[in-house]
Chain A
């Protein structure tokens, strides 16, 4: 594909993703989620699959469209902008990608086909109360008996975990003193799931595995922690792009409000105190946009797994996203905290993004570790 044609493809993909997700999960439906007894966790999944969007970045010979990572960012942005709860980042950007790269090529086609079609979904079962800092935080264990690996342990906060058909599970292999990744069937009777809801309208599950048989071990003899670092980087970039579209929307809505809401006989945008706040929001959006864009493009470059760009993107996003979210609320006055406008919902989604795959403190430390290594290396 020429560069021009690729750009055109991505533009069309962005338009169709936004249209499809907006149709499948309109704002009024989202507003009703909190009151719903059993909110649908996958309102857009089927439509995404039918339109070839789930597999946008999956290799063509595995049933996908083989597009660059930017395509993933665009699909993820469509979901965020419409507040859709579907686990695209966890299940496609991370779990499906691990299957794509960690299974034997013959096997990969067999597994990715149904996933891309939306007939089957894999979740990422990795955290154990906290997002793991390093291999030492993985206490779930895997044991080989005969030809089968058995996984035991508790994984927490698996997005849409109640709806998954399979789990990609990280577990410690005691004999090898290494971390492995295993594919386990969710419906197996040894797997227990307990779901809880989140303030951004998602449903997460704590999943307990008790000697649960794995159908595959991914990346056989490779160092799995490095692959886990790579998916961390993928999640960082894609979550960052999700934050950016929400920030842009909150900024636009706030600017519109400043121009129309009147108090003291004038549009509130006439107050210099608010003009400066809006300017600072704009600056924040510019920074976030630039960083997230770099991070997404970097996914398709040969980057070191510990490249500081990724944690830096997350630090930047955590700071700017919460600034924009909180200011958007504040500048709307009471309307900012009502459930009637997009503002409060967008702000909650931003907070959830800021906590997914590690919070600000986590990424600062991660970035700092790299910095320290650099300084010590230079000494």
Chain B
């Protein structure tokens, strides 16, 4: 947004654009373009297409089947995909457990899991949070007790997103209550069809089933399902948080949303709607666009810095998360004003699929869906208050807890 790229980068971007334009299935593109809820198959189909091109695990090392792209190229890929209305990549496998396995897992783990992740054959869910352990994640209590060559797991995980589609769960469990609470945490893999595991839906503010509660009652897993060392799970989870946060601003999907809002605004003004409020609405839109451009500029600077010094994101990702989520929320909230009497329209059928006749209320519903689901963004993945703590600690030179 607002900046020129080198010839080389522009050519790379053009290549991605061309690829997505020719390979993204029409029906999936239509759904994303309209903001319709995607089903599992949509994500899997697209991820397999990316993989075939060698563009799926672009950040992974080559020896594990990745493309070893630098963050700048990765960012360009994600932006171009989002701008072309491709589904986002589901992070639980390729961005979370994959890097943990190739970094900390055994060769046997790599053999067992990495290929299925690359090929999107297995759907993963992330079982970190619990009812009592949200921001204070290391307070988690789901226990794993050694019994011969098995661990017996008991506890409840909360907010496990898309667990209803998952084959496997990567999960933090407590193997010891001695010492600091961070020390007794172990990283394990659990099959979703394990006996004793059950999934209960949680319906969110948007009336949609995205996330779940998982009950684990005497679930047995072989000792070999422990990833890395027993008791080191917390440090692996922190590694993951440091590693995969470079793209947290999700600027591609935000520019795409802004474009959709501008299209709608253009329809409204051209048809004479809200004539008297036009100036005020345009001013509001200007501010939103400016804030988004600033976010993109900050992101660009960070990416250049990470490439130059070989570093990985620290508090910078907190900056990107706070601003990114706030801008998303404000854009979605603004968009409702363009729908006048139908601003609050909410037809679940319009979220679940495209109808024959696309009505105004169906269109309004999908912006309402963005607005409602948008409230989750400042909560999951570390709340914005926790992100502010991270920045403040860095600024004031305080030690991390």
A229 shortest CB reach to chain B, Å: 15
A334-B158 contact, Cβ under 8 Å, with A197-B346, A355-B336: yes
- Give the contacts of B184-215 with A (CB-CB under 8 A): 202-207
**A198 and B379 contact, CB distance less than 8 A:** no
**B341 and A131 contact, CB distance less than 8 A:** yes
Asked whether B225 is an interface residue with its Cβ less than 8 Å from the other chain, the reply is no
- Give the contacts of A198-228 with B (CB-CB under 8 A): 198-200, 202, 204
Asked whether A337 is an interface residue with its Cβ less than 8 Å from the other chain, the reply is yes
Candidates B274, B344, B401; contact of A130 at CB < 8 Å = B274
- Give the contacts of B236-292 with A (CB-CB under 8 A): 273-277, 280-281, 284
A344 shortest CB reach to chain B, Å: 4
Asked whether A351 is an interface residue with its Cβ less than 8 Å from the other chain, the reply is yes
Asked whether B368 is an interface residue with its Cβ less than 8 Å from the other chain, the reply is yes
Asked whether B337 is an interface residue with its Cβ less than 8 Å from the other chain, the reply is yes
**A198 and B345 contact, CB distance less than 8 A:** yes
**B368 and A334 contact, CB distance less than 8 A:** no
User: In the assembly, what is the distance between CA of A340 and CA of B284, in Å?
Assistant: 34
Q: Total A-B pairs in contact (CB under 8 Å)?
A: 136
Interface-facing stretch out of B39-47, B106-114, B381-389: B381-389
A364-B347 contact, Cβ under 8 Å, with A131-B340, A333-B379, A338-B203: no
Asked whether B348 is an interface residue with its Cβ less than 8 Å from the other chain, the reply is yes
- Give the contacts of A326-379 with B (CB-CB under 8 A): 326, 329-330, 333-334, 336-340, 344, 347-348, 351-352, 355, 359-362, 364-365
Asked whether A127 is an interface residue with its Cβ less than 8 Å from the other chain, the reply is yes
**A334 and B346 contact, CB distance less than 8 A:** no
Asked whether A34 is an interface residue with its Cβ less than 8 Å from the other chain, the reply is yes
Interface size bracket, A side: 35 or more
**A330 and B342 contact, CB distance less than 8 A:** no
Asked whether B343 is an interface residue with its Cβ less than 8 Å from the other chain, the reply is yes
Asked whether B361 is an interface residue with its Cβ less than 8 Å from the other chain, the reply is yes
A17 shortest CB reach to chain B, Å: 24
**A334 and B379 contact, CB distance less than 8 A:** yes
A314 shortest CB reach to chain B, Å: 14
User: In the assembly, what is the distance between CA of A347 and CA of B333, in Å?
Assistant: 13
Annotate A119-143 by CB proximity to B: 1 below 8 A, 0 otherwise. Answer: 0000000010111011000000000
Asked whether B376 is an interface residue with its Cβ less than 8 Å from the other chain, the reply is yes
- Give the contacts of B355-401 with A (CB-CB under 8 A): 359-361, 368, 371-372, 375-376, 378-380, 383-385, 388-389, 401
Residue from A202, A264, A337 whose CB has the most chain B CB atoms within 10 Å: A337
User: In the assembly, what is the distance between CA of A157 and CA of B136, in Å?
Assistant: 45
Asked whether A273 is an interface residue with its Cβ less than 8 Å from the other chain, the reply is yes
**A133 and B281 contact, CB distance less than 8 A:** no
Asked whether B159 is an interface residue with its Cβ less than 8 Å from the other chain, the reply is yes
B21 shortest CB reach to chain A, Å: 34
Number of residues from B at the complex interface, CB < 8 A = 52
- List the B side residues contacting A360 at CB < 8 Å: 337
- Give the contacts of B135-165 with A (CB-CB under 8 A): 135-136, 139, 158-159
- List the A side residues contacting B284 at CB < 8 Å: 361
Asked whether A274 is an interface residue with its Cβ less than 8 Å from the other chain, the reply is yes
Asked whether B182 is an interface residue with its Cβ less than 8 Å from the other chain, the reply is no
**B341 and A127 contact, CB distance less than 8 A:** yes
**A330 and B372 contact, CB distance less than 8 A:** no
User: In the assembly, what is the distance between CA of A262 and CA of B11, in Å?
Assistant: 52
Candidates A204, A339, A340; contact of B207 at CB < 8 Å = A339
Asked whether B105 is an interface residue with its Cβ less than 8 Å from the other chain, the reply is no
Smallest Cβ-Cβ distance to A155: which chain B residue: B341
Candidates B340, B344, B379, B384; contact of A200 at CB < 8 Å = B344
Smallest Cβ-Cβ distance to B135: which chain A residue: A263
B366 shortest CB reach to chain A, Å: 12
- List the B side residues contacting A364 at CB < 8 Å: 280
Asked whether B65 is an interface residue with its Cβ less than 8 Å from the other chain, the reply is no
Asked whether B314 is an interface residue with its Cβ less than 8 Å from the other chain, the reply is no
User: In the assembly, what is the distance between CA of A34 and CA of B380, in Å?
Assistant: 24
A332 shortest CB reach to chain B, Å: 9
Asked whether A196 is an interface residue with its Cβ less than 8 Å from the other chain, the reply is yes
Asked whether B317 is an interface residue with its Cβ less than 8 Å from the other chain, the reply is no
- List the A side residues contacting B376 at CB < 8 Å: 337
**A198 and B139 contact, CB distance less than 8 A:** no
A333-B341 contact, Cβ under 8 Å, with A34-B348, A196-B361, A355-B336: no
**B388 and A273 contact, CB distance less than 8 A:** yes
> Known contacts A330-B385, A355-B336; can you find 16 more A-B pairs with CB under 8 A?
A131-B340, A133-B277, A157-B340, A197-B347, A198-B346, A199-B345, A199-B346, A262-B132, A265-B136, A329-B379, A330-B378, A334-B134, A334-B159, A337-B375, A352-B344, A355-B343
Q: Which residues of A contact B (CB under 8 A)?
A: 34-35, 127, 129-131, 133-134, 156-157, 196-200, 202, 204, 262-265, 271, 273-274, 322, 326, 329-330, 333-334, 336-340, 344, 347-348, 351-352, 355, 359-362, 364-365
Give 5 CB contacts A-B under 8 Å.
Answer: A34-B203, A130-B341, A131-B341, A133-B277, A361-B277
Q: Which 7 A-B pairs have the closest CB atoms?
A: A157-B341, A130-B340, A199-B346, A344-B205, A196-B361, A198-B344, A263-B136
